[in-house]
Amino acid sequence: MDSEKSKCEKKSPSKSQQSKMLPSPFESPKRGPTLSTSTSSFEAVDPHDPVLNNLANSLFSKTADWVSGELDSTIDEYRLLEQMNRVTLTKYGDMKQITTNISKGVTELNEKYTNLMPYLEQIDQIDESISRLEQAAYRLDSYSKRLEAKYKQLEKRNV
């Protein structure tokens, strides 16, 4: 086994040889040791560039203002929605009160109608009696006219 270990050790180059052959993944070609070999958003191109710092500060400031504005807008929308819900609740409360009053009124009217029902039936009976009496009066009038006509005929004969 020792011979196998020595073979493995012989095959792989030493750390000093590796560093000379391949660049370390933690070294940047521009500045030396970093986390990445490429220029990324985590690496500052020129950390002391005042224009870039001002632009970055401006970007973050404006982004913060935008996010703050969006949050304020959302808060305002929720406040408006809350106010609308309160108004709606009040309207529905008013409508419930109106409906309750209408229901009481309808109940009272139904009770009054029930109490008036016997009188209404009497009125209907009286109306039927009047209709029959009226028909009898028309028949009597017709009969009296015929009788009068006969009387006049008899009177003419006797005269």
pTM above 0.85, yes or no: no
Place of tokens 């017709």: 142
| 24 conformational bin, left if phi > 0, alpha if psi -120 to 50, beta if neither | beta
Give the pLDDT band of residue 44 (cuts 50, 70, 90). Answer: low
Answer yes or no: are the C-beta atoms of 33 and 27 closer than 8 Å. Answer: yes
Answer yes or no: are the C-beta atoms of 13 and 5 closer than 8 Å. Answer: no
Q: Name the more confident of 8 and 50.
A: 50
Q: What is the mean pLDDT of residues 9-23?
A: 49
Answer yes or no: are the C-beta atoms of 39 and 45 closer than 8 Å. Answer: yes
Residues 6+ apart with CB under 8 A from 46: 52
- Dist. CA 67–CA 155, nearest whole Å: 120
Residue 27 has phi, psi (to 5 degrees) of -110, 135
